[in-house]
A and B are shown apart, each in its own frame.
Chain A
Amino acid sequence: MAKVFVIAEHRAGRLKTSTFELVGAAAGAGNETHVVLLGDGIGELAKELGPYGAKTVHLIQDPALKLYSAEAYSKALSALLKPAGPDIILASHTPTGRDFMPRLAARLGVGLASDCTQIGFNGTELKLRRPVYAGKATAEVEFMGPGPRMATIRPNTVGVPAPDPAKTAEIVNAAANLGTLKSKVLEVVKSSSSRPDVTEVPIVISGGRGLKSAENFKKLEDLADVLGAAVGASRAAVDAGFRPHRDQVGQTGKIVSPTLYIACGISGAIQHLAGMRTSKVIVAINTDAEAPIFQVADYGVVGDLFQVIPNLQEELKKIKEP
């Protein structure tokens, strides 16, 4: 059994699902599970963690923690964790977790394994595997020297357990000890796009060079609307100016793992496959029967996407709106 500290993450007054995942994984493996919750006016959120298995919630509240910042988080956390003597420290591999955890690791003088997609507990040690070369391979991580062991875990790696409302955690207030800060998050600016992000929904429809123009992506958007899907793009489509970089799927874009990935007019360059090959079901629509995308596709449609997609939209409407 290990003394595990999970660093909680929240946005807009809600805890992230990935935090519940880590608490559940640590507690489920029989560890003494602590959660650190940082912010300002977020005391109510602390009560949500007991049902997932947290024994103790350490609540650090300070006006300077109202908006997340790497500097404030790593300072407050190292002040709490150095005397607490954890065996293991976990956070989610999200834009927040991946930002502050290296700074915390440096402050504690230990190693950090980033973006792990397999996690196991073995006494006070962690057994971890992580993708390298954007998932073209994976490797086990071995820590050198004394602990604590630190890792960021990719969301959706272990799944969220069912909460037990009868369980409660002890809530302990801790001081922030921030001192003078050299950086500050001034504000959070919400996305100007009304479309969902490719990393955040179970269905992604991506277009490549085969779409031929930015205007033609409207066809994919219409199809996406039927399924509540996000619209992604290959690097070729982004480089051609058809879509913004935020939509790019691949080694230098976003790594996605949706339930269903529909690749339209994408040939399947290695760097693209690296970004989507772990999707549960892959559909490829392409005129070139020899395109490499078909090697990873569960369902391959050799054909003209401009003819297939309108038909697909009609057929999907039939099952969505019977």
Chain B
Amino acid sequence: MNIFVSIKQIPDTETKIKLNPNNSWIDTTGIKWVLSPFDEIAVEEAIRLKEKNPGSTVTVLSAGPARITEAIRTALAMGADTGIQIELPETADNNLVAKALAATIRREPKFDIVFTGKEAADDGAGQVSQLLAEYLDIPSITVVVSADYSPTSVKCKREIEGGSFEMVEASLPAVIAGQKGMNEPRYASLPNIMKAKKKEIKTLKMADLGISEADQKIRHKNFQLPLPKQAGKRITGDPADQAKELVRLLHQEAKVV
């Protein structure tokens, strides 16, 4: 099988976000960049599918600025075979990214399945997998917690509201967007990290793919940080007094119980 995984490099989720001087983007200085946690699940799923289907290849795709090579190397160290890095501006929107990914996959001789995370844990939009599927004219299944693969189709359990699930069946090729719980992503071993350094990463530009900045459809601007919260009340005393005072405050002052 020709397996593809689309990944994004994002600020570590412990990052304290600051804004740039004109509030047009975040201040990226000093940020620790990591592979988005949901994309680790996608990479893991791709590798497991490859392991079950000898002779398969896993190609990692990522679109963004130069720094994303590092995230691609992380996926290669986990066990993906090759990488393709598409040069896009930091501020590219979901549509431009999806167009770039679709054009890249279409250049390949064959594709059977594409994995992504259910959303990038920074932008949180959760659009790229469905946009990509639409541009490739194939099904998409999002927020997937488990999947059964056959040579021509896939059956997925998709998480919906209230802890319920939809069982979805789709023909292959398809785009599958993984949710936590789908698998437990592996850690790259030291030998595999060394090996990953020698694996090939191809680089593509927008012009190679027949796309341009006109494919960007939305832009974020006027960033704001949430207002800092006012200092709260500290409740002291022994546990019985604390509980009594807390309930009084919640009942009479905050009126929430």
A70 near B140 (CB under 8 angstroms)? yes
- Find chain B residues with CB under 8 A from A312 CB: 243, 246-247
Stretch binding the partner chain, chosen from A32-40, A54-62, A161-169, A277-285 = A277-285
Q: Decide: A70 near B93, CB < 8 A? Known: A132-B123, A133-B17, A200-B161.
A: no
Q: Decide: A143 near B218, CB < 8 A? Known: A103-B130, A131-B124.
A: yes
- Find chain A residues with CB under 8 A from B56 CB: none
- In this complex, the interface size class of chain B, counting residues with CB under 8 Å from chain A, is 35 or more
Residue interface bits B194-237, CB-to-A below 8 A is 1, else 0: 00000000000000000000101111111111100100111110
Q: Decide: A193 near B169, CB < 8 A? Known: A106-B134, A132-B122, A252-B13.
A: no
Within 8 A of B (CB), among A143-184: 143-145, 182-184
B221 near A260 (CB under 8 angstroms)? no
Within 8 A of A (CB), among B139-171: 139-143, 155, 157-171
Q: Decide: A294 near B232, CB < 8 A? Known: A144-B219, A311-B244.
A: yes
- Find chain A residues with CB under 8 A from B224 CB: 129, 137-139
Q: Decide: A299 near B246, CB < 8 A? Known: A142-B218, A200-B162.
A: yes
- Find chain B residues with CB under 8 A from A84 CB: none
B14 near A269 (CB under 8 angstroms)? yes
| Docked complex Cα distance between A204 and B10 (Å) | 29
B166 near A245 (CB under 8 angstroms)? no
Minimum C-beta distance from B80 to chain A (A): 21
Find the residue from A102, A196, A294, A300 having the highest chain B CB count within 10 A.
A102
Q: Decide: A102 near B127, CB < 8 A? Known: A294-B232, A295-B229, A311-B239.
A: yes
Verify if B190 is at the interface (C-beta below 8 Å from A): no
Verify if A25 is at the interface (C-beta below 8 Å from B): no
Q: Which A residue sits closest to B230, measured CB to CB?
A: A298
- Find chain B residues with CB under 8 A from A303 CB: 239, 242
Minimum C-beta distance from B253 to chain A (A): 9
Minimum C-beta distance from B135 to chain A (A): 6
User: How many positions in chain A have a CB within 8 Å of any CB in the partner chain?
Assistant: 100
A112 near B127 (CB under 8 angstroms)? yes
What is the interface of chain A mostly: helix, strand, loop, or mixed? Answer: mixed
A315 near B218 (CB under 8 angstroms)? no
A183 near B141 (CB under 8 angstroms)? yes
Verify if A214 is at the interface (C-beta below 8 Å from B): no
Within 8 A of B (CB), among A115-139: 115, 129, 131-139
Verify if B89 is at the interface (C-beta below 8 Å from A): no
A114 near B135 (CB under 8 angstroms)? no
Minimum C-beta distance from A97 to chain B (A): 10
B139 near A71 (CB under 8 angstroms)? yes
Verify if B11 is at the interface (C-beta below 8 Å from A): yes
- Find chain B residues with CB under 8 A from A111 CB: 93, 95, 217-218
- Find chain A residues with CB under 8 A from B15 CB: 133, 136, 270
B127 near A144 (CB under 8 angstroms)? no
Q: Decide: A281 near B142, CB < 8 A? Known: A140-B221, A189-B164.
A: no
| Docked complex Cα distance between A202 and B254 (Å) | 14
10 new A-B pairs (CB below 8 Å) besides A100-B130, A251-B121?
A99-B142, A107-B134, A132-B223, A136-B225, A199-B161, A244-B181, A253-B180, A260-B254, A308-B243, A311-B242
Q: Which A residues have a C-beta under 8 Å from some C-beta of B?
A: 11, 67-71, 74, 94-96, 98-100, 102-103, 105-107, 110-115, 129, 131-145, 182-193, 196-197, 199-200, 202-203, 227, 244-246, 248, 250-253, 259-260, 269-271, 274, 277-278, 280-283, 294-304, 307-308, 311-312, 314-316, 318-320
Q: Which B residues have a C-beta under 8 Å from some C-beta of A?
A: 11, 13-17, 19, 26, 37-38, 93-95, 98, 121-131, 133-135, 138-143, 155, 157-171, 174, 180-181, 214, 216-226, 229, 232-236, 239-240, 242-244, 246-247, 249-251, 254, 256-257
Q: List 9 A-B contacts (CB under 8 A).
A: A103-B131, A115-B124, A136-B15, A188-B164, A227-B257, A252-B121, A260-B256, A300-B233, A300-B234
